């Protein structure tokens, strides 16, 4: 069973990572989340759950406004050829979330370390980063350094790469 937001918060607390979470109506797209601007400080994320032709999976986390060239990103993230979006069943199986709630925090559910975490370097220059805490009915603010600590604590190597234009 996938972890719950409460289990995520307990994991973060055990690591000594302080976060602030704001509950809100479900948000399914970046456009939906723009309604919260001004209420939640920090960079807001967009997450791409991708797979290549050899069934390697990637979670690419970028700033919500960032443009990602899906025809070229495979060169940047080390994929075996072009990538496509992972199927909802794989998303649930590996990260424990549904489409519309994809989040870097889903790495807590990837016990088999099947998903490679890629954090955009421009996103990580922000002091604060916002992501859904395993549900799209809340947004959690975390310091970027603590986000990196979280990813590493889940047993993943966080690749910090320039994957966006600009």
Render pLDDT for 78-101 as a digit per residue (tens, 0 to 9): 999 999 999 999 999 999 999 989
The pLDDT, as a whole number, for residue 39 is 72
Backbone angles phi, psi at 45, to 5 degrees: -105, 155
Point out the least confidently predicted range of 25-39, 47-61, 74-88, 98-112: 25-39
Predicted confidence band of residue 164 (pLDDT cuts 50, 70, 90) = confident
- In this model, does residue 149 exceed pLDDT 90? yes
Please determine, for residue 53, whether its predicted confidence score (pLDDT) is greater than 80: yes
Q: Is residue 35 part of a domain?
A: no
Does residue 70 sit within a domain?
yes
Q: Is residue 78 part of a domain?
A: yes
Whether residue 33 is predicted with pLDDT greater than 80 in this model: the reply is no
Q: Specify the CATH number for the domain of residue 63.
A: 3.90.960.10
Answer yes or no: is 116 within a domain: yes
| Number of structural domains found in the chain | 1
Look up the domain containing 55 and give its range: 5-25+40-161
**pLDDT (mean) for 21-34:** 73
The percentage of the chain sitting over the pLDDT mark of 70, rounded to a whole number, equals 92
Residues 6+ apart with CB under 8 A from 72: none
- Residue 100's pLDDT is what? 86
Confidence of residue 166 (pLDDT cuts 50, 70, 90): low
Q: What angle do helix axes 5-14 and 144-153 make, rounded to 10 degrees?
A: 100
Determine, yes or no, domain membership for 73.
yes
Taking a C-beta distance cutoff of 8 angstroms, is the pair 118, 124 a contact? no
Q: Which two tokens stand for residue 102?
A: 């994809």
Rounded Cα–Cα distance for residues 86 and 55 (Å)? 9
Q: Can you tell me whether residue 160 is helix, strand or coil?
A: strand
């Amino acid at each position: 069973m996938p972890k719950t937001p409460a289990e995520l918060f307990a994991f973060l607390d055990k690591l000594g990572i302080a976060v602030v979470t704001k509950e809100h109506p479900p948000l399914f797209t970046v456009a939906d989340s723009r309604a919260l601007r001004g209420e939640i400080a920090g960079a807001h994320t967009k997450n791409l759950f991708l797979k290549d032709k050899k069934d390697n999976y990637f979670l690419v986390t970028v700033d919500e406004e960032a443009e990602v060239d899906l025809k070229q990103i495979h060169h940047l993230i080390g994929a075996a050829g072009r990538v496509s979006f992972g199927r909802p069943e794989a998303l649930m199986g590996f990260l424990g979330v549904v489409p519309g709630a994809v989040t870097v925090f889903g790495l807590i559910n990837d016990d088999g370390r099947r998903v490679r975490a890629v954090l955009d370097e421009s996103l990580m220059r922000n002091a604060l980063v916002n992501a859904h805490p395993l549900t799209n009915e809340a947004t959690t603010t975390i310091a970027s350094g603590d986000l990196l600590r979280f990813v590493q604590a889940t047993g993943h190597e966080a690749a910090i790469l320039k994957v966006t234009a600009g």
